[in-house]
Structure 1
């Protein structure tokens, strides 16, 4: 950004969407995406504007939420199917597929494995030698489906980020302000090793696993430039590891991601450099990712989602599922004995540190009470997805803001809420 622009670390600024930097610089976040009056449905990003401001500012997030057209966008899930055997697909991948409105699937995925899902299925397979143009078309299809409000699954063989061009799709969508979630899959290298009893690491023999593409050469083989290196169990010796990497030829300015408690609700990522590892500290379990690709790490507002399923939640934020309610069967409705409704009960959970979250999403009033029983008070920013939740939150006192989505959003705008779809 030019020197003539105000510092968004101390305020919110307005930019044309096409001028917004990507990745968004550390310490900043996109607060809202909006269009001039009468153009809210336009998909032309040049006619959209971005409000950019400091991260972790719940007041500004709440202030601009009613302008944000991303609240009507669907979410794209980049899902790893695994190496081929459907039984190696993860539970999280299955849940994403079950919630999807449309599935774009790859060449090496058996369509029969997708027959049980209700979503519309679109084959987008590619073959060597004619993939670049096809990839651009796939990117556009994912974007167009998302801005229509659909829940989109992009299903890839193996893992989306291991030689699967998932990073290109992530960049394409995030540059256009579409929320993307990643569901990792079992990569083929691990499946092949397991099939034939080959331990990829073994004490005294092999200290690590290097994954490379075999059909193209890398012009620069300097350490950390051509590959991304992962170092497991590194929390206790960050200074020593930093010195070792420099001795091996790694550039001291090469970016490093220190990831603690990966995939858990308390997960945390800190970006530093190889040369600064001697000053670093981490809490186990932690691993290091080292390489140029770490520069693409972005920070988005992160929400604790307390409902049953986060897969259809609209909006731009990153979600961490930590349910405070559960299904407990069905019961007859009091209004109509022939109708059966879901019975929801509170779900006991441990108290976790909420310091890395920007807000909490509530989909049921029982989750609000469960949250209060565990943490004692509401955080500075809460999201209500229904009228009942909105009313329950308004009964609480304290310095917090409410962002309304779904039927709660319609209620706040003064219109009669539509009956929610299942």
Structure 2
């Protein structure tokens, strides 16, 4: 046995057989960037629907392997034997999916880590042992500092950290955090997410009325760190492009000639109400929703809210400080009994929800001592908190480990 990784991008490969196994192999080869031809008399519907392969719906012919870099035999055993023989005569590597013990080549299980790290696993013919190895190696990789040891060109990734629970990070976000040299984090970035990085953390915390580091300075930090050859993650709460100034940071990096990537996150505008049992739309109650910020305390920013029809849920990010101004605007057009909810520190162990009517929400929030970060929901759906709160509480705590 001689382990080997192949760079197949742009190289022509053949898959013989169009069943479930062949379909999965085709998908993996396409992910690797290969140019794929398939020979199969009866391909699966999923395979037949693809437009990015060359499909021949017929029986295998020995000449099919001519010019191929790799062949995957995924047909019945007798056909696979013909494919292997044809490949042997032409010195083409062939994987017999039905007989790993005698196949000239085979695809082992692969454990992947961040930034292209991969470990090939062989169970010595025992699939159960291979799965056990995969599981243990994946667990071990998560605790190893896998940042590149060779300097390279710097880059910036604008990463959405979601609403607070680290279990809600995307796989790509976790990989980038693990590989980062520098993480530039603001106040709304989940603290638990920072435990996933071995890189240097630069805090640029912002809170209402207290911008520790200005946006222009943050842009300069991102560019300077990337120019120094660092892999930079700009970690932002929620989604970087939803009221997070991600577009400004993207523009600054591109203007400086920095390689930049955007990784979406679950926006807090939807996820935090959900954690309190509040769907932002619900049949018979709300047909849509509007996400806005009242953070600037500029009356012009919230004056348009009065024109929003009552069947549209209003979700306010960073709205606690300006709550009185927003309520005054809404009371001019909306029923004072309109349900409201304020969710404080959503998707964290400290989450709590305060409910009231539009007419009383300001006083209720003051009495409860509500503080940022909080999200305000205005609309009929806010009343569903009482009905769905228990289920939502279980969901919001699903990723937490109790002492």
User: TM-score category by the smaller chain?
Assistant: 0.3 to 0.5
Q: Quick check: which has more Rg, 1 or 2?
A: 2
Larger RCO of the pair (alpha carbons < 8 Å, separation 6+): 1
Q: With the length of structure 2 as denominator, give the TM-score of the two structures.
A: 0.35
The structure richer in helix per residue is 2
